[in-house]
Amino acid sequence: MSEFMLETQNLGISFGGLKAAQDVNLKIKPKELYGLIGPNGAGKTTVFNMLTGVYLPTTGRFFLDGEDLTGKSTVEISRHGISRTFQNIRLFTNLSVIDNVLVGMTNRLPCNMFESMFRLPRHFRTEKELRAAARELLNVFGLDEERRSLASNLPYGKQRKLEIARALATQPKLLLLDEPAAGMNPHETAELTETIRFVRDHFDMTVLLIEHDMSLVSGLCDRVTVLNFGTTLAQGETSEVLHNPEVVRAYLGD
């Protein structure tokens, strides 16, 4: 295992003349809970989109566990072990809760797509194993009871949890959470904090999260990076960075 689970080197992207993000240098250690914060439009989700292959970075490179994944497709990156959730929940709303998780397991060996079409016995066996694994995962998030209901029928907080479960179903090394606490009340946020910590401990997961809720960030993240207008404003230990006058100014204005 390399020293850093995720390392980005001068990662940046411009859309025409607009530099949406530039010179982003992240060094995230294994099992670290790392925060990416900044005002709206600072380029946080853009960074996620580069890290998952949705956008092709115009400059810089990024490495997962020492392996260069720059320029790879979304599917390849997902297979190499980066998975994510979305700012606006993007569950498969017409599929059941358990099917959402099973979709995340599509690529798990040992049964590929064509085998699942033609070699039925093996298909049914793996299907059974996957179902068991999916239920286990749902149990962790307290969703097993609702596994048969449609994802769209879950209450908001549970949809957020299901998105995390689905992301974990791809067996990632690095989990990207895009505003996991958005729209949650303080009670749900506290519960989510526990869930994320549990995921880190239980799955040995490295987590990079975007969040506006400072109580969650300061309670959860070991280190943070602050982006503003696409550039890095500050980074380091969470408590230090959050008291940095420049950071305060970026958030509150002069």
Partner 1 sequence: METLINGLSLGGIYALIALGYTMVYGIAKMLNFAHGDIIMAGAYAILLVVGMTGNLLLSVVALIAAIAFCVLLGVTTERLAYRPLRGASPLAVLITAIGVSYLLQSIAQLFFTSEGQPVSTGAAQLGSVTFLGANLKLSSLITLGLCVMIMTALTLFVDKTRVGRAMLAVSEDRGAASLMGINTNLIITLTFAIGSALAAFASLFYLMQFPVVSPTLGSMPGIKAFTAAVIGGIGSIPGAMVGGVLLGVIECVCQSIPALSPYTIAIEFGLLIIILLVRPVGLLGKKRREKV
Contacts with partner 1 by CB under 8 A lie at 52, 54, 73-75, 78-79, 83-84, 86, 88, 90-95, 99, 102-107, 111, 113, 116-117, 123, 127, 130, 166-167, 169-170
Query: Cβ 135 to partner 1, closest distance in Å?
Result: 16
Total length of the chain = 254
**Residue 154 Cβ, how far from partner 1 at the closest point, in Å?**
15
CB closer to partner 1, 2 vs 107: 107
Backbone angles phi, psi at 183, to 5 degrees: 75, 10
- What is the sign of the dihedral through the CA atoms of 101, 70, 206 and 178? negative
Nearer to partner 1, 127 or 222 (CB): 127
Q: Which is nearer to partner 1, 104 or 180 (CB)?
A: 104
Sheet of strand 174-178: strand arrangement: 82-84, 174-178, 206-210, 33-37, 223-228, 231-237
Cβ at position 6, least distance to partner 1 in Å: 16
Decide whether 126 or 238 has the Cβ nearer to partner 1.
Answer: 126
Other C-beta atoms lying within 10 Å of the C-beta of residue 21 = 27
C-beta of residue 49 within 8 angstroms of C-beta of residue 31: no
- In whole angstroms, the minimum distance from the beta carbon of 93 to partner 1 comes to 7
Rank residues 70 and 231 by Cβ distance to partner 1 and give the closer one. Answer: 70
Residue of 30, 24, 21, 23 lying closest to 2 (CA atoms): 30
**CA of residue 141 relative to chain centroid, distance:** 16
Q: Taking the complex as a whole, how short is the minimal distance between the CB of residue 109 and partner 1, in angstroms?
A: 12
Please report, as a single letter, which amino acid is at residue 53: G
Cβ at position 152, least distance to partner 1 in Å: 9
Pick the closer one to partner 1 by CB: 48 or 220: 48
CA atoms within 13 A on the CB side of 14: 8
